[in-house]
Amino acid sequence: MADINLYGRVILKANIKALTGLHIGGSSTGLEIGGIDKAVIRNPVDKHPYIPGSSLRGKMRSQTEKVMGLRQNNKIGPVTIHTCKKEEEYKANGGCPVCHVFGVPAEIDYSGPTRLVVRDVPLREESAAEMDRANTELCYAELKTEVAIDRVTSAASPRNIERVPAGAIFGPAELVFSIYEQADYARLKVVIDALQLVEDDYLGGSGSRGSGKVQFQDIEVFARRRGDYGLVIPYQKFASVQELANAFADLQRWLAGALPVE
């Protein structure tokens, strides 16, 4: 295996605003009459809903695979993802963007390090306080009742879905992108595009029925480099993903100076 040199990391922080009710599932209480069929995931200590890093990262990956037209060829548990099966496929044309950025299963022995880490995203305290004042019907959540209609008998089957109300803000989200080679400067664009793809699709469940529209706001970009890793190298702040994407050419130039690859 070739030597791995970590030249530094780019860190993106942002708030995530729920523009419609957000459902990312936790345990179900639907065994009792009138119970919730689909509950949201919560921090067991303070009962605040949160966005798991795995949910955000998985959505970013799946959307990127689709927009690049990559074959879904590797089943992991209940989901199927794209994985380069051959070394030449992994390295072709500068390297598969998805496999380099999001990683591949550990049994693939010709791969390099995963570039992207995505942290869990907590509910902001001000949003929790706002919901406390509003006295939401559930603990930091609303109850949405959906009805499935049998196409043959017209029988109605109601189901209760718990959602974090529209307007709630989670943050800060933290995405950490590692620089191992010069090609990683351009690969950071995969991360930015993936955030835009998530905004245009949805996060969590029931997206085709209105839930899960989110917006990334107040984006901050900074870096840390090896040799003086404790030093924060700030770049800029952006109001939206679109602003960040529009500035990517300048961001690449800044990266080359802030995190030079020797």
Could you list the pLDDT tens digit for every one of the 262 residues in the chain?
A: 568 899 999 999 999 999 999 999 865 544 444 445 689 999 999 999 999 999 999 999 999 999 999 998 888 888 899 999 889 999 888 889 999 999 988 877 888 899 999 999 999 999 999 999 998 878 999 988 776 777 777 676 677 889 999 999 999 999 999 999 999 999 999 999 999 999 999 999 989 999 999 999 999 999 999 999 999 999 999 999 999 999 999 999 999 999 999 8
Question: Among residues 131, 157, 166, 122, which one has the least CA distance to residue 30?
Answer: 157
Distance between CA atoms of residues 221 and 10, nearest Å: 7
pLDDT of residue 33: 40
Say what the pLDDT of residue 154 is.
67
pLDDT of residue 26: 61
Q: Beta partners for 157?
A: 148
pLDDT at 56: 98
* pLDDT attached to residue 130: 94
Give tens-digit pLDDT for 215-247: 999 999 999 999 999 999 999 999 999 999 999
In 35-141, where do the E strands start and end?
A: 50-51, 74-76, 79-81, 116-118, 121-122
- Tell whether omega for the bond before 158 is within 30 degrees of 0, i.e. cis: no
pLDDT at 195: 98
Question: Between the CA of residue 240 and those of 21, 89, 219, 235, what are the distances in Å?
Answer: 20, 34, 7, 15
**What residues form DSSP beta bridges with 142?**
163
Would you say how long the chain is, in residues? 262
Distance (Å, whole) CA 131 – CA 11: 30
